Copies of this chain bind each other. A is one copy, B any other.
Amino acid sequence: MALIVQKYGGTSVGSIDRIKNVARRVAHFHKQGHQLVVVVSAMSGETNRLLALAKELSANPSPRELDVVAATGEQVTIGLLAIALHELGIGARSYTGGQVRVLTDNAHTKARILTIDETPMRRDLARGTVVIVAGFQGVDAEGNITTLGRGGSDTSGVALAAALKADECQIYTDVDGVYTTDPRIVPEARRLSSVTFEEMLEMASLGSKVLQIRSVEFAGKYKVKLRVLSSLDEPESTAPGTLITFEEDDTMEQAIISGIAFNRDEAKISVMGVPDKPGIAAAILGPVADANVDVDMIVQNIGSSEHTDFSFTVHRNEYQRALDLLAEQRKKGLAAREIIGDSRICKVSVIGIGMRSHVGIASKMFKTLADEGINIQMISTSEIKISVVIDEKYLELAVRVLHRAFELDKESA
């Protein structure tokens, strides 16, 4: 008998029929004798509907009141799921974030969880009652309703699992695990039975949006065993999903490369011929950061002895704004021969914790792309990933050939 926290997202509870499906799945685990805490999101579309009402009233609504409105989405789902479980003869009680004292800071719309009161949940679990908790929400020290921001229900699930020292936190989504890459691009893409925390972080931030990145960090911090599974399969025949591990010396076989991630939404800006002297990076990126434009890759190329070229990528939506900011800087005295940009690029990354101890991954990646005539515009590396910026038209081709080159379609030996 295990204590399992299950989290179901908006799509999984998006209709009455789907809520019934979730209830059947919960009942399936309950009948096996497990103690269950179920965290749910708002029915899909509901949070957007609620926020749209607020936006109709104000372009800049009060974050405190936005949270009051938005938190109702999850509250509806917990009550409905409890009723659905009762229909199956299973004892269940719903709790809002406030009712289990998911205490957060007071950063409305993006609050962080501080503590959770496990007492009422323990009491219910001891009686065999399924505990249902509204994800995404909490209360601050003064009793104000807070929300954790988009995707916050994943974080709620992980935080509850940490507080209750659950044996496993199962995140149900519309995919049945983490894949070596996007199966829509590479049909041979394979589901990973496990992936390390660090790899998962890279996958998430690179666009494999299976889990919300903050929840994965949270799981890592509290060593919560996290599993991604599909809520679309029948309860009795659900694939085991992907386990996210936090220990490198795990007994399981570790592949060198675990996946190919990619991101279409990037744009590249190069500031050419700037003086090669201390402080130049700060002079270029400072105003961009001050304007809250997120910068992803940063590469400084070696230029002539006195001048250098400086490149970085931003989200495509912020491309024009970043260009404008730099033009302004130039007027204000930033010495640069030329500022050029390209919004038709993409980023492709090879990710694997195993590459730390394996040489030759980078050269294999570069050669594979070169063999297809794909020009690499920027390169950036970390201990467990290598990212390249290429022309966006080559995205699918690059992902396919890299997937094959690193034999990701085959089970690791």
Contact = CB atoms under 8 A, between A and B. Distances in A.
Interface of A: 16, 19-20, 50, 53-54, 56-58, 61-62, 64-69, 71-73, 75-76, 78-80, 82-84, 86-87, 93-94, 96, 98-99, 143-145
A132 to B, nearest CB: 9
Nearest to A71: B75
B83 A62 contact: yes
A68 B98 CA distance: 12
Nearest to A72: B72
Instruction: Sort A-B residue pairs by CB-CB distance and give the 6 closest, nearest first.
Output: A69-B79, A68-B79, A72-B72, A65-B79, A65-B82, A61-B83
Given A64-B93, A75-B75, 13 more contacts: A16-B57, A19-B57, A20-B57, A54-B80, A58-B87, A62-B82, A65-B82, A66-B79, A66-B83, A68-B78, A68-B96, A69-B76, A72-B76
A179 to B, nearest CB: 34
A46 to B, nearest CB: 10
A57 B69 contact: no
26 contacts: A53-B76, A54-B79, A54-B80, A57-B84, A57-B87, A58-B84, A58-B86, A58-B87, A61-B83, A62-B83, A64-B82, A65-B79, A65-B80, A65-B82, A65-B86, A68-B94, A68-B96, A69-B79, A69-B80, A69-B83, A71-B75, A72-B72, A72-B73, A72-B75, A96-B145, A99-B145
**Is chain A's binding surface mostly helix, strand, loop or mixed?**
helix
A143 B101 CA distance: 11
A325 B162 CA distance: 59
Contacts of A68: 75, 78-79, 82, 94, 96
Nearest to A143: B99
Contacts of A87: 57-58
Contacts of A76: 50, 53, 69, 72
A143 B82 CA distance: 17
A144 B79 CA distance: 12
Contacts of A86: 58, 61-62, 65
A403 to B, nearest CB: 44
Instruction: Count chain B CB atoms within 10 A of each CB in A54, A67, A68 and give the residue with the most.
Output: A68
Contacts of A67: 79
Contacts of A64: 82, 93
